[in-house]
Amino acid sequence: MSVIAAQEVMGYFGQRTRDDVAAMFPVIRARADAQLRAARSLHGQDGFPGHVEVLSRIRSYSNFYALDDITLRHSRFDGTLSDSLDRAVLIDADAAIVLPYDPLRDRVLLVEQVRLGPIARGDRASWQLEPVAGRIDPGEAPEQAARREAKEEAGLALGRLEKIAETYPSPASSTGFYYVYLGLADLPDALTGIGGLDAENEDIRSHLLSFDDLMARVARFDLANAPVVMAAYYLAHHRDRLRSEGATDTPDRE
């Protein structure tokens, strides 16, 4: 990870100040850690064994995210090589996402916060309901990140985690990669409130939704967040099993 991070740092030589690079270094390390994790991904074992030739790669922007302009050629399914293609890709770190679920009360917790994607798109809903989520810190396992984010965003201790997916939300344009979980939890009425880290300027409000309310919102397209829709359908498929197990592997209840 240190070698990969150092390569990115040296790429800014003569372009960014030492202070600029120092401010970016946490996210530089997170991006490097994501590259290492990518080499261990579970998917693609039977994929097309094609070749990609990167002709040039220029970092056009870098801060919280980075943007690379790439010129490449790739193998085609007919055995030929493609023409030279000019593309751009958003460079992001990996994220852990978890939908907390209380099998006894049969309800979930969602968090609400302002989001730049809807703002930039012109969406009338700038505040979005979504699962607990956050960037995976360097050296941190995705499961650890999910538990940490639940504490930071909602003051919530998670029990057993069930893996839902390891997935790119937008592989055509971004390196962003999601580790999505369902987390068993105790979700009493008093849990709702305002959370988040002041150091990260977070302003996060938590909501408790019954399973029926969750699925009704999904059905009427009221939740415009892909991971929460994915997690909702996972929960619908496994709900009977989880409820029959009751409080097994959930934190102590009040």
Q: Helix 2-11 crosses helix 18-38 at what angle (to 10 degrees)?
A: 140
Query: CB atoms < 10 A from the CB of 214, how many?
Result: 25
Q: Which residue, 220, 234, 216, 226, is CA-closest to 101?
A: 234
* In contact, 37 and 27? CB cutoff 8 Å: no
- Between the CA atoms of 67, 167, 170 and 83, what dihedral angle is there, to the nearest 10 degrees? 80
| Cβ contacts of 121 within 8 Å, gap of 6 or more | none
Q: 200 an active-site residue?
A: yes
Catalytic residue selected from 152, 200, 245, 254: 200
d(CA 178, CA 238): 21
Distances (CA, A) of 157 to 94, 147, 149: 22, 7, 10
CB-count burial class (<10 Å; 0-12, 13-18, 19+) for 29: buried
Quote the tokens at residue 103: 């099998």
For residue 29, the surrounding DSSP H or E stretch is helix 18-38
| Cβ contacts of 191 within 8 Å, gap of 6 or more | 109, 154, 155, 156, 206, 208
Query: Which residues are marked as active site?
Result: 200
